[in-house]
A and B are shown apart, each in its own frame.
Chain A
């Protein structure tokens, strides 16, 4: 199992965002998280990334026990949250080279990732602050691609992208799966997401059920 949660409770200031989530995901799956706003999808993804402490229950992600150690899992996962994690005063290129320097990827990988996400030469020298929401999203996805994570965690990756961008994203996720990665993503683009996913989970009221 790549991810296995058992009765996991995660709280924000005494509000149980996850109220006993139990599910399992095996290697090579592309899992869609469906559910209304405030159901706990974002919390679920952030918990998988080792960002949130688990109050009760047990969780294991990529053979790291999250209850005892939330830190070692982080190098193995890639998370795209609601925020893009970009520096708005820097250009696209500078953002990319910052993250690639931190992670130690080659320039070639960076170039490929930017091509995949359709970040043209003109955009590369544009400040992130001057990009449209969709272009920022593409840039954030490009930084994620160079991570080469074993588990991809994407919070509404389709939001803000145009049709072409969404197609490229889906292609990228399928390619990552081919390469042995596992994907979890939340999306409200139900038709597209169903098409992409190999399985879908229903998240509601901090609980996870098969759907």
Chain B
């Protein structure tokens, strides 16, 4: 019985199971507390409830992209060019893009309720949207053909270029909006007066999303390793086949 279980084991371990269980638990608490237990906001009313999923997902998305940048830099700098850095960078970016998509969708829903509009050309929003597109491009570069080594170098360089690009985009958008009078955007979470339960729920949201992030990245990273190993094993078979192709002649 245990042997069968062992054979089918994929990327899960006891650690990931614990993290997964904790993530579900905290997430359930966030949903219950966010939707039911927490009070309305004085200014925003019910719509403040979106904050408990929106803000943590934004934080985690930014965190994920920072991880991608650091892992890419480590890959480039390290003498050994350990592929672990590359896989981590890729896994983190994938999860980050998902969280950024969540951020943009929940943010525009929240914006519709607080501003009456789905989208505002606010510097932070605009930069976030560009960040999203940039990392979608990064993932497209990762899928380009070539050896694992080529993929790692190319995507690490592109990730570094993204690090250059983002501040420029942000600064240009800030400068652009500051010169424009009129459209001043109120900061949605700035004027929320939070009581202890609201703060605690927001904090729990960050914890829950971090756990989800860790769980997803661990699994994704290991899956990437599995694919690399499977390719390598496939290569052994392919080499053997290729050799016989020669001796037939």
Contact = CB atoms under 8 A, between A and B. Distances in A.
Interface of A: 9, 11, 13-16, 19-20, 36, 39, 53, 55, 204-207
B178 interface: no
A40 B82 CA distance: 30
B145 interface: yes
Interface residues of B, number: 18
Q: State the 10 A-B residue pairs at the shortest beta-carbon distance, nearest first.
A: A205-B246, A205-B245, A204-B246, A19-B242, A19-B239, A207-B246, A206-B242, A16-B239, A16-B242, A204-B249
Contact of A39 (B145, B243, B246): B246
Contacts, number: 50
B243 A14 contact: no
B150 A53 contact: yes
Interface string B218-240: 00000000000001001100110
B3 interface: no
Chief secondary structure at chain B's binding surface: helix
Interface of B: 145-147, 149-150, 231, 234-235, 238-239, 242-249
30 contacts: A9-B235, A11-B235, A14-B234, A14-B235, A15-B238, A15-B242, A16-B238, A16-B239, A19-B238, A19-B239, A19-B242, A19-B246, A20-B239, A20-B243, A36-B249, A39-B246, A53-B149, A55-B147, A204-B246, A204-B247, A204-B249, A205-B243, A205-B244, A205-B245, A205-B246, A205-B249, A206-B239, A206-B242, A206-B246, A207-B247
Contacts of B235: 9, 11, 14, 16, 55
A14 B227 CA distance: 12
Contacts of A20: 239, 243
A18 to B, nearest CB: 9
